[in-house]
Chains A and B, each alone.
Chain A
Amino acid sequence: MSSRLPATLIGGYLGAGKTTLVNALLRGADGRRLAVLVNDFGELPIDADLIEAREGNLLSISGGCICCSFGSDLIAAIMELRAADRPIDHLLIETSGVALPGTIAQSLQLIPDIDVNGIVVLADAESVRDRAADRYMGDTVLAQLAAADIIVLNKVDLISPEQISATTAWLKQTATRARVLPAQRANLPPELILTRQDEQTKGRFFASGHDTAQLATVGFEIDGNGDPEALAQALADASLHLLRVKGIVRDRHGALVAVHVMGRRASVEPAPRAVQSPGRLVCIGVAHEIDAKAVADAIAARPPYSAKLA
């Protein structure tokens, strides 16, 4: 068996909230079978109530998910995981606090059938600027941020609104390609990160917490056989303010392909085999930034594609 496997990297320095996010995603997996690979010195960072069984360094987690640590060799761990023929819908890679997620993403291309959907880097709102100036770790922290598609500015409840805007502005300068999302307990909606084959196209709001970003989705039905790469690039354009786009469209030959956008990162991959659906796209953004009409226009600017609000 060798179906394509979407992967998301979750990076950031120690204590920034990577583990909290991973646990939130496991709780919100909603039927998706997640495989979490962890690289750190530490207990496998899964909340005790989620663990069903432990076998060596492999944890079985409720809902058909698993978690294991990969020591120093991620590529080998993924190859072993794939060889084991386990049903997996999405791979989450929690990189070590000193690892460079950009370098890891580049290396993941070397494994057949892995699609990197995006790099999420967590930043501790209180300490990220000190870390970035640290004598030993500064360049590592800056390289982590620079590789991000989305930076989650976490624990914003611990700093003042003025500090939030100053830190956000600094992050935008430091990591020019990343979208910055404030959060309190790394409380991102799983839909922002995970994919599924029967993506909900109905518009929804995610209230992700007091003082943090309200996210919203807009769904479109997509007609036409066109150039999916150009479409994905258009949706990754900064002017649309989209955090995430995922869905299925038809290419020039009428074949179904999966489109993924996270921040500035756009990719197109063959659709999962099981999918039999009309073209559809789900777009997620900050509620007050997302503009359904602008998105529809951007899609229509890549004819023969056309978009209809779902």
Chain B
Amino acid sequence: MITIHEARRILTFNPARPAATHVAVRDGRILGAGRLEELAGWGDYRLDRTFADKVLMPGLVEGHSHVAEGVQWRFVYCGYFDRTDPDGKVWSGLKSIEEVVARLQQANAAASDPSLPLTGWALDPIYFDNRRMTRKDLDRVSTTRPIGIMHASGHIMNVNSKALELAGMLRRGINHPGIPLDDEGLPTGEMKGPEAMTPLGPHVGLDRGLLSADEPGLRAFARLCVRAGVTTAADLANLLPQPAVDMMLRVTAEQDFPARIVPLRIAREISPVELVDRVLELGRLSTDRLRLGKIKVVVDGSIQGFSARLKAPGYYNGAPNGLWYVAPEQLREILERSLVAGVQVHCHTNGDEATDLVLDMLELALRKHPSPNHRFTLQHCQLANAAQFRRMRALGMCVNLFPNHHFYWGDQHYALTVGPERAERMNACATALANGVPMAIHSDAPVTPLGPLFTAWCAVNRRTASGRVLGEHERISVADALRTITLGAAFTLGLDDEIGSIECGKRADFAVLEDDPTEIGGERLKDVRIWGTVLGGRIFPAADI
């Protein structure tokens, strides 16, 4: 059965016919986009006018997110900016510690058992004139219930006295750089870095396995995708134990599951030989809506956590260089074995020294195993300079940059982490495109909210939360940004033959919009209203999801 959808406008991203009014779909595939008369030639059809006043564009592709975004919403949202939950409820941003405490007090009153933990997330005190939250603030919420609030960065957690007590840390004499002490010599309740946070985690409802999603988390994540116009999303780091894979296969196969998920196996706990074998095995399990068979390697840490590896002259505030999470020999072995096996590798590099290491190791690996079309991708790659983009191009690499950082932490990067000059060239989208590096841009949800149109707005405007334009010359056009969040991201996932544009033979994946992103203007790109999505011809209105 053929369905022809009529729309106000269809942005196809097929240069041969960039705009159309109708798109014909059969068995979840696009027969073509054009005028009704042209499409009628395919045979008997049903005309669907649901989208007659909507704008269709290719389903948006998020090339770097984490299904954990769907898990976080079980906790109390404590962020500074308004954010939409999987049910579509908009949680207002909290503008002071008082407001955070008040929302937690509400949640505390609503919860029954006074000993169960209360968990919050997305706190960002850099917006509170840098007044730090302390355990005493949270003790006003409860002294019987352990409370833990994760910061937006994921690198810091605030806890109350009860949580410290349960972890055996409400004591004097603690000497740890991640645990500031108050006048009484007791922890202030701010726990910085994974080592300081982990002992508290189990007491405040944050268990270790939580970031690899469970079934409700996966379902919630897919609903967030619909609200963001996303039809395909990468889950960029998952250990992918078999029970989790079985669960994902089962859930994504359900008729009404509304997203295509691309989970990457993180390089951890097993040797490169076992890793590549496992990922080949996973690849054979792939279905349309669950694409397995790729590797993620974490090379360094984060810039705002000062754990990214920077080339000289290092951090602007003089902090010592960051941490390596993989040795060159290990990285090279993973890259070589993956090239030989035809497995794609995505490498997390935040600092430019980490990026250099990947470029060096891949160059050596490619000399040994020349491999056309490998599409190995640098993820984040926030500090890359022009020379590094030229090398990426020469080596056949892709890049997935992180422009959302400018909005959320750009002012901090300017003032503290990397200083004005490098802050202005961070996430150098224009340089990447000028050098012909295949590019995606991402949210790293839950670090920042899932929303490719917002990410596109960030790349087009490069505006920080305080309104500063951070690197005028690295802004890209709306057309480039829209192509990047569709075909660009699809290319980095090796799916550009199937998705990313609306043309004959591709999957019928659409973002359904109320506004035309090519007409609304770059300044307002983030305000484009999203009606829902179409995935493989199945229609998912956000209002019913």
Enumerate chain A interface residues (CB-CB to B < 8 A).
Answer: 13-14, 41-43, 57, 69, 71-76, 79, 96-98, 100, 103-104, 106-107, 109-112, 136-137, 139-140
Contacts and interface: CB of A to CB of B under 8 A. Distances in A.
Given A106-B176, A109-B174, A139-B321, A14 B329 contact: yes
Contact of A98 (B169, B267, B327, B334): B327
Output the residue of B202, B327, B334 with the most chain A CB within 10 A. Answer: B327
A136 B353 contact: yes
Q: Nearest 9 CB-CB pairs, A to B?
A: A107-B195, A75-B198, A98-B324, A112-B168, A42-B271, A76-B208, A97-B327, A98-B327, A71-B269
Contacts of B321: 139
Given A14-B329, A73-B208, A110-B169, A136 B269 contact: no
Contacts of A74: 195
A112 B239 CA distance: 29
Given A69-B269, A110-B176, A140 B198 contact: no
B323 interface: yes
Contact of B326 (A57, A98, A103, A110): A98
Nearest to A98: B324
B199 A111 contact: yes
Given A100-B323, A106-B176, A139-B321, A71 B328 contact: no
B176 A107 contact: yes
Interface in B89-147: none
A73 B198 contact: yes
A98 B168 contact: no
Contacts of A72: 194, 268, 325
Nearest to B298: A72
Interface in B175-228: 175-179, 194-196, 198-199, 201-202, 208
A63 to B, nearest CB: 25
B177 A106 contact: yes
Interface string B323-345: 11111111000100000000000
7 contacts: A41-B326, A43-B271, A73-B194, A106-B177, A110-B176, A136-B309, A137-B328
A76 B167 CA distance: 12
Nearest to B202: A79
A136 B201 contact: no
B174 A110 contact: yes
Interface in B298-334: 309, 321, 323-330, 334
Given A14-B330, A98-B324, 11 more contacts: A41-B334, A71-B269, A72-B268, A73-B208, A74-B195, A75-B194, A106-B175, A109-B174, A110-B176, A110-B179, A136-B353
A140 B201 CA distance: 29
B58 interface: no
A96 B178 CA distance: 21
Given A136-B357, A140-B324, A109 B175 contact: yes
Q: Which of A76, A106, A140 has the most CB of B within 10 A?
A: A76
A140 B169 CA distance: 30
B1 interface: no
A136 B349 CA distance: 14
A213 B323 CA distance: 34
B272 interface: yes
B270 interface: yes
B431 to A, nearest CB: 24
Contacts of B199: 75, 79, 110-111
Given A41-B267, A41-B268, A109-B176, A76 B198 contact: yes
A76 B330 CA distance: 24
A11 B448 CA distance: 36
B265 to A, nearest CB: 13
Interface in B526-542: none
B272 A41 contact: yes
B116 to A, nearest CB: 19
A76 B201 contact: yes
Contacts of B323: 98, 100
A248 B334 CA distance: 48
A139 B323 CA distance: 10
Given A41-B268, A69-B269, A110 B195 contact: yes
Contacts of A98: 323-327
A72 B323 CA distance: 13
B174 A136 contact: no
A84 B402 CA distance: 41
Contacts of B198: 73, 75-76, 79
A224 B277 CA distance: 62
Contacts of A109: 174-176
Nearest to B173: A109
A107 B195 CA distance: 6
Contacts of B353: 136
A76 B208 CA distance: 7
Contacts of A69: 269
Interface in B484-521: none
A106 B178 CA distance: 10
B480 to A, nearest CB: 33
Given A13-B327, A107-B195, A110-B169, A41 B174 contact: no
Residue from B330, B353, B356 having most chain A Cβ neighbours under 10 A: B330
Contacts of B208: 73, 76
Contacts of B201: 76
Nearest to B328: A136
B333 to A, nearest CB: 8
Interface in B258-282: 267-272, 274-275
Given A100-B323, A109-B174, A41 B330 contact: yes
Contacts of B268: 41, 71-72
B350 to A, nearest CB: 15
Contacts of B328: 136-137
Given A41-B270, A76-B201, A136-B357, A110 B196 contact: yes
A23 B266 CA distance: 28
Contact of B327 (A75, A79, A110, A137): A137
A15 to B, nearest CB: 8
Of A71, A103, A107, chain B has the most CB atoms within 10 Å of the CB of A107
Interface in B280-299: none
Nearest to A69: B269
Nearest to A75: B198
Contacts of A140: 324
B483 to A, nearest CB: 35
Nearest to A42: B271
Contacts of A79: 198-199, 202
Among B179, B309, B328: residue with most chain A CB under 10 A: B328
A129 to B, nearest CB: 17
Contacts of A110: 169, 174, 176, 179, 195-196, 199
Contacts of B329: 14
A100 B323 CA distance: 9
A122 B369 CA distance: 33
Interface centre among A13, A41, A73, A112 (most CB of B within 10 A): A41
Contacts of A106: 175-177, 195
A233 to B, nearest CB: 17
B174 A14 contact: no
Nearest to A107: B195
A112 B167 CA distance: 8
Contacts of A14: 327, 329-330
Contacts of B196: 107, 110
Contacts of B309: 136
